[in-house]
């Protein structure tokens, strides 16, 4: 088992190197530069722009810049933001907690909705409840988050005036602080969570249906076990194997999906950092954030594989 993980990690290294190379080259070839805002400013002479470019090494050839970046990265130096003149890791760490809080709560919300609804729908396929659940799931994952986000803002902020739509870090502590933190997170968490829950519900339902028809379930029922016990102990446990994999694999995707939501609600997370850095052509930050996403994908793939084997001992690690 540990040997398997070690081997997978070793394999991950060349793929991460490859990813970083592709990312770097694409970003280096992309048009625009971080000092474009200075271009139309008559107070800033072109020489200053040229000096800044030289200072940040933008005039070096691509391969040299890549090697510099790689060498620095190996030593734990993530680079230096052109725009903020701050270390990139400081920027990312500053924003990580917010993203984890919002994405984590929305993922939790999605599971809390998807599992009970999916399981219940599977035990009564084609019932009214199942049909309703299906309809809502279809609506849920066909509406993109930028649409539901704005819809929520219009309803809950503008019309009803219940919730704030600008997410900000609230000063203070104690219960009122906690309540305010929850209050302002309600809309973004709902938007992200419901979107996730929609597709997950469908998945849980079909996984349950696959298992519920198997012979051992009939056997369990024949033994005289109650419906609840059969479903929870025997069916769900096996049905959850693919669901766990799906959830693990979706985590990086959720980070990606949060980018749009973060922008709409002004959540100071990694996604909005990525967007503003792309708009400002702040290459080191874009590079670092996309690379973090790449690492997350590789890592969660590995976690999914390990979990899979642990849940289903028939799968061996080789």
Chain contacts with other proteins (rule: CB under 8 A):
31-53, 55, 80-81, 83-86, 91, 94-95, 153, 157-158, 161, 164-166, 168-169, 171, 263-264, 266, 268, 272-273, 276, 279-281
| Nearer to other proteins (CB atom), residue 158 or residue 222 | 158
Smallest distance, other proteins to C-beta of residue 243, A: 35
Smallest distance, other proteins to C-beta of residue 23, A: 18
Give bridge partners of residue 87 from the DSSP assignment.
Answer: 80
Smallest distance, other proteins to C-beta of residue 24, A: 17
Q: Return the SS3 of 35.
A: coil
**Dist CA 165 CA 23 (whole Å):** 34
C-alpha of 61 from chain center:
34
| Nearer to other proteins (CB atom), residue 6 or residue 86 | 86
Smallest distance, other proteins to C-beta of residue 281, A: 6
Asked if 50 and 100 touch (Cβ cutoff 8 Å), the reply is no
Torsion angle (degrees, nearest 10) of CA 252, 257, 258, 262 = 150
**Dist CA 169 CA 133 (whole Å):** 36
Distances (CA, A) of 241 to 122, 215, 221, 248: 16, 18, 22, 11
| Nearer to other proteins (CB atom), residue 84 or residue 301 | 84
**Dist CA 162 CA 101 (whole Å):** 22
| Nearer to other proteins (CB atom), residue 38 or residue 251 | 38
CA atoms within 13 A on the CB side of 282: 22
> Which of 284, 273, 290 is CA-nearest to residue 80?
284
| Nearer to other proteins (CB atom), residue 83 or residue 247 | 83
**Dist CA 182 CA 180 (whole Å):** 5
Smallest distance, other proteins to C-beta of residue 308, A: 38
| Nearer to other proteins (CB atom), residue 69 or residue 265 | 265
Smallest distance, other proteins to C-beta of residue 223, A: 59
């Amino acid at each position: 088992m540990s040997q398997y993980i070690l081997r997978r990690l070793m394999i991950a290294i060349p793929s991460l190197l490859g990813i970083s190379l592709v990312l770097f080259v694409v970003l280096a070839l992309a048009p625009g530069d971080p000092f474009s805002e200075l271009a139309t400013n008559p107070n800033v002479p072109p020489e200053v722009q040229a000096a800044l470019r030289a200072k940040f090494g933008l005039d070096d050839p691509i391969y040299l810049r890549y090697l510099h970046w790689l060498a620095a990265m190996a030593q734990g130096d993530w680079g230096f933001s052109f725009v903020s003149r701050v270390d990139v890791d400081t920027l990312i760490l500053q924003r990580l907690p917010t993203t984890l809080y919002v994405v984590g709560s929305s993922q939790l919300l999605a599971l809390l909705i998807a599992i009970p609804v999916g399981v219940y729908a599977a035990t009564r396929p084609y019932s009214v409840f199942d049909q309703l659940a299906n309809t809502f799931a279809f609506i849920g994952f066909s509406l993109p988050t930028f649409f539901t986000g704005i819809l929520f803002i219009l309803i809950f902020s503008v019309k009803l005036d219940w919730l704030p739509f600008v997410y900000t870090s609230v000063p203070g502590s104690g219960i009122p602080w906690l309540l305010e933190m929850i209050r302002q997170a309600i809309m973004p968490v709902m938007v992200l969570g419901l979107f996730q829950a929609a597709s997950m519900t469908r998945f849980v339902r079909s996984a349950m249906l696959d298992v519920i028809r198997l012979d051992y379930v009939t056997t369990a029922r024949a033994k005289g076990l109650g419906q609840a016990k059969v479903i929870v102990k025997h069916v769900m446990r096996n049905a959850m194997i693919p669901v766990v994999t799906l959830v693990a694999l979706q985590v990086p995707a959720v980070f990606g999906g949060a980018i749009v939501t973060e922008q709409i609600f002004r959540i100071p997370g990694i996604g909005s950092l990525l967007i503003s850095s792309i708009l400002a052509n702040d290459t080191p930050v874009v590079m670092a954030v996309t690379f973090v996403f790449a690492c997350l994908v590789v890592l969660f793939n590995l976690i999914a594989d390990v979990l899979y084997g642990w849940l289903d001992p028939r799968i061996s690690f080789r």
